[in-house]
């Protein structure tokens, strides 16, 4: 097992990419903390981990709150004795009051703050609390989840894309600072991944319309398919395992080849 006895925190680990990452890490022997605000789904993920013989913990955590993050990291260390891995996956495109405006002129200040705090500030707060524990163990791994939209926006979402671009800057900076302490910091830029991210866009659509939408989106990629949460989990595993022992400050697109365009058939 590649992560035997490692302790990992996965924020936003209740569903989608976070859940897939948590389960994959557990399969490789890690003790996994699922940090999320969606308790029912977090407990479902934990139950799957335990059914497979893995070990984990659910922590209710709002990554935009320093107190909540501090309590979550403290609970992790209290339960498992330390911390080796942090995956900053928590994020959302949904702003204040559940809105998803897509124009710079339509986004309210509250929505801007909510999206930027969740997608960027949360990663900073989690790293701030996690790093001292990693230093005490002689090293660690941090994986930040950005988005292909950080460098190649598919449609206007300036608050979301600006925050995800900020994640890249945070990754580069922490990689430089923390490398001498044995802490490797890398990022993943997911492209079109089939997750609950699209639920708001597809609300009210029939099953046939939903499948048609994902088929269309997948056809835009050179690999001609949508990505899956497991595609992200595999790359995350690489970045936190010994397979990437000399890799830091790297951003990996997991996007089916985007922004390259498929060749004409």
3-state SS, one letter per residue, for 170-205? HHHHHHHHHHHHCEEEEEEEECCECCHHHHHHHCCC
Query: pLDDT below 70 — which residues of the chain?
Result: 95-101, 264-265
* Residue in 218, 157, 149, 162 with CA at minimum distance from that of residue 189: 149
Report the pLDDT value the prediction gives residue 179, as an integer from 0 to 100: 98
Q: How many CA atoms lie within 13 A of 45 on its CB side?
A: 32
From 160, 172, 198, 246, the catalytic residue? 160
Q: What is the rounded CA–CA span in Å between residue 45 and residue 13?
A: 8
> How confident is the model at residue 200, as a pLDDT?
72
What residues does 253 pair with on adjacent strands?
Answer: 189
198 is catalytic: no
3-state secondary structure of 158: helix
What is the pLDDT at residue 93?
84
Residue 239 pLDDT: 98
Angular region, 162: left φ>0, alpha ψ -120 to 50, beta rest: alpha
- Residue 103's pLDDT is what? 87
Q: Which of 204, 203, 88 is nearest to 146 (CA)?
A: 88
What's residue 14's pLDDT?
A: 97
Q: At 57, list the tokens.
A: 């913990």
| CATH fold of the domain at 7-193+228-254 | Rossmann fold (3.40.50)
pLDDT on residue 156? 87
Based on the number of CB atoms within 10 Å of its own CB, is 204 exposed (0-12), middle (13-18) or buried (19 or more)? Answer: exposed
Per DSSP, 23 falls in state: H
């Amino acid at each position: 097992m590649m992560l035997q006895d490692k302790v990992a925190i996965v924020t936003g680990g209740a569903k989608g990419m976070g859940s897939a990452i948590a389960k994959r890490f557990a399969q490789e022997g890690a003790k996994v903390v699922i940090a999320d605000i969606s308790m029912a789904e977090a407990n479902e993920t934990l139950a799957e981990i335990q059914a497979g013989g893995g070990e984990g913990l659910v922590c209710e955590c709002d990554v935009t709150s320093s107190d909540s993050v501090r309590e979550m990291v403290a609970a992790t260390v209290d339960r498992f004795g330390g911390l080796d891995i942090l995956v900053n996956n928590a994020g959302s495109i949904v702003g204040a009051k559940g809105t998803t405006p897509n124009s710079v002129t339509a986004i309210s200040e509250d929505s801007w703050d909510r999206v930027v705090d969740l997608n960027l500030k949360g990663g900073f707060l989690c790293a701030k609390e996690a790093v001292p524990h990693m230093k005490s163990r002689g090293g660690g791994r941090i994986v930040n989840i950005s988005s292909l939209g950080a460098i190649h926006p598919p449609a206007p979402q300036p608050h979301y894309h600006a925050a995800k671009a900020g994640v890249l800057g945070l990754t580069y900076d922490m990689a430089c600072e923390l490398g001498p302490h044995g802490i490797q910091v890398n990022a993943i830029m997911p492209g079109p991944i089939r997750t609950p991210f699209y639920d708001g866009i597809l609300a009210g659509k029939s099953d046939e319309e939903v499948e048609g939408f994902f088929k269309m989106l997948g056809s835009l990629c050179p690999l001609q398919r949508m990505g899956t949460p497991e595609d992200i989990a595999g790359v995350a595993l690489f970045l936190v395992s010994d397979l990437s022992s000399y890799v830091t400050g790297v951003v990996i697109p997991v996007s089916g080849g985007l922004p390259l365009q498929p060749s004409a058939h």
